[in-house]
């Protein structure tokens, strides 16, 4: 692990095992091969989701390095609940921070136009 992500960052509360970390946001992040770029993207995603107040909706993120795909696992959602706005907001945060991701069965990609134009004050 290089300087992009390290265990001394205030956002990292503890290392669970190699490539897997607990964050202050209550969202675990982990990379199959402990890849710094992937961990950095997931940490940025957590910060953005925290900024819009939706961290309680995200259970964990796992970056499958072999597939170059980040799986975003949400909490269990009642089928009858109408939470499309929340899921859309989380998807937008992923499009700002993660190169390629899967959320609710849909593959998404980082939007270079949005991610270069929209920055949160973190």
- How do residues 19-72 score in pLDDT, each as one tens digit? 999 999 999 999 999 999 999 999 999 999 999 999 999 999 999 999 999 999
Query: In sequence order, which residues have a C-beta less than 8 Å from that of residue 66 and are 6 or more positions away?
Result: 32
* Whole-prediction pTM: 0.89
Locate the domains of the chain by residue range: 22-106
End-to-end CA distance of the chain, in Å? 23
């Amino acid at each position: 692990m290089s300087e992009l992500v390290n265990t001394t960052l205030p956002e990292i509360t503890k290392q669970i095992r190699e490539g897997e970390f607990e964050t202050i946001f209550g969202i675990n992040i982990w990379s199959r091969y402990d890849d710094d770029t992937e961990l950095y993207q997931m940490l940025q995603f957590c910060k953005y989701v925290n900024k819009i107040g939706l961290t309680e909706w995200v259970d964990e993120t796992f970056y499958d390095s072999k597939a170059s795909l980040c799986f975003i696992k949400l909490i269990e959602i009642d089928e009858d609940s109408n939470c499309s706005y929340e899921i859309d907001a989380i998807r937008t945060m992923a499009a700002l921070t993660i190169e390629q991701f899967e959320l609710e069965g849909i593959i998404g990609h980082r939007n270079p136009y949005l991610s270069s134009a929209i920055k949160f004050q973190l």
